[in-house]
Amino acid sequence: QVQLVESGGGLVQAGDSLRLSCTASERTFSRYGVGWFRQLPGTERELVAAISWSGRSTYYADPVKGRFTISKDNAKNTVYLQMNSLKPEDTANYYCAAKPWAEAPGQYDYWGQGTQVTVSS
């Protein structure tokens, strides 16, 4: 059972940056594809970005293209989401999810508890 822990959320102003981290308990996390999702209360969870297990493929939702960057550090069992030029509409609870050998975004097997990002105008 892989445990995922997100960190790095907080309250920032529009235009600021944050880096979210998703750290896994699994030492073979390098074999996992990871997605970052966000969700507001009462809304569906939205895929924001994803990275394949190899790190060679990435995906970004249109609202975050050019502003967010997803990356993997296998030595630290961690996937990052660098968020620049934040906007109030980026406010949400952000979750990471993982699936072994995932090459493309899809149904993930393991989920973290989330970290809150709030962007004030």
Query: Mean pLDDT in runs of 10 for the chain (121 residues)?
Result: 95 98 91 96 94 96 98 95 98 96 91 97 93
Instruction: Show the tokens assigned to 93.
Output: 């609870």
Name the strand (E) or helix (H) holding 86: none
Residue 104 confidence (pLDDT): 87
Instruction: Show the tokens assigned to 70.
Output: 């997803």
